[in-house]
């Protein structure tokens, strides 16, 4: 029986690679905000949902729709992430908020929405993709580092 796997940020980078490799033997649902990219990646190999992981109510709605359609969730891969660089004083404040909301709050929101399902399915997994920035620091990446350190703290409960 195919596993039902949700991949946040499955339309680009590592998420896209995971989507392509896992979709051969599993039922994949990718979540992201860019529908054009989602359609391109899904290309009949997987399902997708337009979802802003920084918005808990959108996440909850997507998870409920996935459960309605597939009846289960076996794996959540929290992969969505945004990049920001430069010194803190030169970063745009809206971009800072977006990076924090997606990189950290997105992991928390998706995990929170899926935990009740994971508790019922003892074989289910939540996999959080992080970065070396979650343990190492570079001065020109303070906001990105902060989000990844936050994920490190979150997963090391």
Contacts of 137 (CB under 8 A, 6+ apart): 145
CATH of the domain at 73: 3.40.50.720
pLDDT at site 130: 81
pTM of the predicted model as reported, rounded to 2 decimal places: 0.93
With 60 as the cut, is the pLDDT of residue 119 above it? yes
* Tally of CB atoms within 10 A around 92: 10
Catalytic one of 144, 145, 147, 151? 144
Domain of 9, in residue numbers: 4-155
144 carries an active-site annotation: yes
pLDDT band at 124 (very low <50, low <70, confident <90, very high): very high
* Total of domains in the chain: 1
Alpha helices in the chain (DSSP H): 13-22, 35-42, 56-70, 93-100, 106-120, 142-155
The answer to whether the CB of 124 falls within 8 A of the CB of 118 is yes
Q: Which whole-number Å values give the CA distances from 70 to 26, 63, 65, in the listed order?
A: 12, 10, 9
The answer to whether the CB of 7 falls within 8 A of the CB of 77 is yes
pLDDT at site 133: 58
Q: Which residues of 58-71 are buried (b: 16+ CB within 10 A; e: fewer)?
A: bbbebbeebeeebe
Give the DSSP per-residue string, 111-139.
Answer: HHHHHHHHHHSTT-EEEE---GGGTS--G
The answer to whether the CB of 73 falls within 8 A of the CB of 124 is yes
Q: How far apart are CA 134 and CA 128, in angstroms?
A: 12
Q: How far apart are CA 59 and CA 111, in angstroms?
A: 10
pLDDT digits (tens, 9 = 90+) for 47-86: 999 999 999 999 999 999 999 999 999 999 999 988 888 8
pLDDT at site 132: 63
């Amino acid at each position: 029986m195919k596993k039902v796997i949700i991949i946040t940020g499955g339309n680009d980078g590592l998420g896209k690679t995971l989507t392509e490799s896992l979709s051969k033997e599993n039922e994949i649902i990718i979540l992201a905000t860019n529908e054009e990219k989602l359609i391109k990646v899904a290309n009949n190999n997987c399902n997708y949902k337009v979802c802003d992981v920084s918005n808990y109510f959108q996440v909850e709605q997507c998870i409920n729709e996935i459960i309605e359609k597939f009846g289960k969730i076996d794996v959540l891969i929290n992969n969505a992430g945004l990049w920001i660089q430069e010194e803190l004083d030169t970063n745009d404040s809206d971009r800072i908020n977006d990076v924090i909301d997606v990189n950290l709050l997105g992991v928390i929101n998706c995990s929170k929405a899926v935990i009740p399902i994971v508790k019922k399915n003892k074989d289910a997994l939540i996999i959080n993709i992080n970065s070396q920035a979650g343990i190492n620091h570079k001065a020109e990446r303070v906001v990105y580092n902060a989000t990844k350190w936050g994920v490190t703290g979150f997963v090391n409960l």
